[in-house]
A and B are shown apart, each in its own frame.
Chain A
């Protein structure tokens, strides 16, 4: 069955440092990989996504890389700021009609000022 593993479960960095969160997925047919940021008690917000025909995507301080062969993808946040502190979720989906998302367990990122 479809499964997504996410590591680490918690991550603490100093302001200005980089943070990396990694996910692996089980189903080789998955071809859409979003990353969501969720602040305490709030809804998840999409921060970046990537499709399986692309190896890397950047948006300012955020980047995602995808290794289809190894079935893993990673979120990279550079120059971290205290407002980056939140829970981050990766997910994998089949692109197409269902849009089902299988989520990782989440990573709590703490950026210390």
Chain B
């Protein structure tokens, strides 16, 4: 299970606050992804990045922002503009050159109080 980590495991936020979720990988993977998972639903893509200093919106990017300043790191900021941020957030990475397989981090459960 090593290789891709997320922190914190649990996060509580008051309404109106921005929070940043950490995602780090030491797999030397080029591509990284952020997904949101709600109860009883599949994973939905928020943002993805194929190389450093470049990223694209996924299907549900509104209210979120990302950066990719280093290959190993792809932090996700949940802004106050996100109307319903309570969810399980999963980060994933992929080598991009040799395999389509995505490896997932352990996830961060965000709760808005």
Contacts and interface: CB of A to CB of B under 8 A. Distances in A.
A97 interface: yes
Contact of A99 (B1, B31, B44): B31
A101 B45 contact: yes
Contacts of A102: 45
Contact of A97 (B90, B96, B101, B103): B96
Interface residues of B, number: 25
B48 A49 contact: no
B43 A34 contact: no
A98 B48 contact: yes
A100 B43 contact: no
Contacts of B103: 46
Interface residues of A, number: 26
A111 B44 CA distance: 27
A24 to B, nearest CB: 14
A89 to B, nearest CB: 6
A89 B100 contact: no
Given A43-B104, A43-B105, A99-B102, A105 B96 contact: no
A43 B37 CA distance: 11
Top 4 closest A-B pairs, CB basis? A103-B42, A43-B104, A103-B43, A32-B100
25 contacts: A6-B42, A32-B100, A34-B101, A42-B107, A43-B1, A43-B90, A43-B105, A46-B101, A89-B42, A89-B43, A91-B42, A95-B100, A97-B96, A98-B31, A98-B50, A98-B56, A99-B100, A100-B58, A101-B102, A103-B42, A103-B44, A105-B41, A105-B42, A106-B40, A106-B41
